[in-house]
Amino acid sequence: MTTIQKVSAVPSPRDAGEDGGPLLEVRDLHVEFHTRDGVVKAVNGVNYSVNAGETLAVLGESGSGKSVTAQAIMGILDMPPAKIPQGEIRFRGQDMLTMSAEERRKIRGRRISMIFQDALSSLNPVLSVGYQLGEMFRVHQGLSKKEAKTRAVELMDRVKIPAAKARVDDYPHQFSGGMRQRIMIAMALALEPDLIIADEPTTALDVTVQAQVMDLLAELQREYNMGLILITHDLGVVADVADKIAVMYAGRIVEQAPVHDLYKRPAHPYTRGLLDSIPRLDHKGQELFAIKGLPPNLLRIPSGCAFNPRCPKAQDICRTQIPELEPVTERDGSELPGRAAACHFWKETIHG
């Protein structure tokens, strides 16, 4: 199910609660699902942060916990079956997990918004896109129908929908997939949030349209100086737009790094596997590498490092001790800013 999350009615000033720290900081977040088969440990101690004007890409195979983490941030997990036994989700320094429901609603509606993968099922098929965009302004800002429609056209222009004025009364099915996704971006932008979380926003689109939509998101993010979290399982899609990347495996961050550093010199064997499995134009004819095996069953996560059954570098310690996320340094111990990895043998991977 795809939808856009906008719930608050009370706008708060953009700089309220500013403490100089990150815009959003997730600390040691755990999420589990209590099911008939047992406890699914979907998120097992995630830490990441994003600043205003910064794009964080969250990367990982299917089932690694990317969306569940985002849903916890947005407060849209069904509890039960979900449970958050531990962790903090700080927005401008304030933990959203412990604040009042009213305060939470203000942030999660007005200041953080979310874009999902499939625009068609997010939009109401029997209402015009102009009406649905205008609703944001009518409901949240009390604008009249006419004013709201004018703002809807402005937003459609903003996300580069050709002939916006002429098309404002068209219905969702009259737009292509790429244009519908632009409309979803417009909705997410409507109240000028501080942070947008985009969960696989281009996966349903073909490759050329994917790049256009991604470029548009990046452009708007710069223009509005927003934080952007881009969730993807495709490293190729985010390479040009992200500042930094967090790689997830079995509900943990296993590596984080500035985007270009990660490409040039991965420190975790899983990241290396992901990079080696991207088709490259300059390696024509070369056989693609695939990471062997399957992601773990989250009802029974392997002991030690969760990646050990698939890891070409695994040794005995990997089967018993969970590696902590620790700073990655140069061979001489000098700092590599923004870099960390959770692997007992990251030195061998990065320094060869």
Q: Which residues in 261-300 contact ligand ATP (CB under 6 A)?
A: 298
Q: Which two tokens stand for residue 15?
A: 């700089």
| Least distance from ligand SF4 to the Cβ atom of residue 302, Å | 9
Q: Given the rule CB under 6 A, which of 32-40, 105-113, 152-160, 182-190 is the region that contacts ligand ATP?
A: 32-40
Choose which of 48, 91, 131, 345 interacts with ligand SF4 (CB under 6 A).
345
Binding of residue 323 to ligand ATP (CB under 6 A): no
Residue 343 touches which of ligand ATP, ligand SF4, Mg ion, none (Cβ within 5-8 Å per kind): ligand SF4
Q: How far apart are CA 283 and CA 268, in angstroms?
A: 22
Contact 269, 254 (CB under 8 A): no
Which residues between 305 and 324 bind ligand SF4 (CB under 6 A)? 305, 307-308, 311, 313-314, 318, 323
Closest approach of Cβ 303 to ligand SF4, in Å?
Answer: 11
By the rule CB under 5 A, 67 interacts with Mg ion: yes
Residue 158 Cβ vs ligand ATP, minimum distance, rounded to whole Å: 28
Residue 40: strand, helix, or coil: strand
Stretch binding ligand ATP (CB under 6 A), from 45-53, 63-71, 101-109, 325-333? 63-71
Q: Does 60 bind ligand ATP (CB under 6 A)?
A: yes
Q: Which of 45, 63, 75, 266 binds ligand ATP (CB under 6 A)?
A: 63
Sign of the CA dihedral 135, 118, 245, 77? Answer: positive
- Residue 81 partner contact from ligand SF4, ligand ATP, Mg ion, none using kind-dependent CB cut-offs of 5 to 8 Å: ligand ATP
- Work out the number of other CB atoms within 10 angstroms of the CB of residue 146: 9
Binding site partner of 40, from Mg ion, ligand ATP, ligand SF4, none, Cβ cut-off 5-8 A by kind: ligand ATP
Radius of gyration of the chain (CA): 21
Query: Residue 57 Cβ, how far from ligand ATP at the closest point, in Å?
Result: 13
Give the one residue of 60, 251, 269, 296 binding ligand SF4; rule: CB under 6 A: 269
Q: Where are the alpha helices (DSSP H) in the chain?
A: 66-74, 101-106, 119-122, 129-141, 145-158, 164-167, 177-189, 207-224, 235-238, 259-264, 269-276, 346-351
Count of residues that interact with ligand SF4, criterion CB under 6 A: 13
| Residue with Cβ nearer Mg ion (67 or 210) | 67
**How would you write 218-265 as a 3-class SS string?**
HHHHHHHCCEEEEEECCHHHHCCCCCEEEEEECCEEEEEEEHHHHHHC
Q: How far is CA 304 from the centre of its chain?
A: 27
Distances (CA, A) of 331 to 20, 141, 158, 350: 32, 55, 47, 9
Q: What are phi and psi of 197, to 5 degrees?
A: -110, 120
Give me the residue label for tokens 């695939």.
290
Per rule CB under 6 A, is residue 233 in the interface with ligand ATP?
Answer: yes
Sites of contact with ligand SF4 (CB under 6 A): 268-269, 305, 307-308, 311, 313-314, 318, 323, 343-345
Sites of contact with ligand ATP (CB under 6 A): 33, 35, 40, 42, 60, 62-68, 81, 233, 298
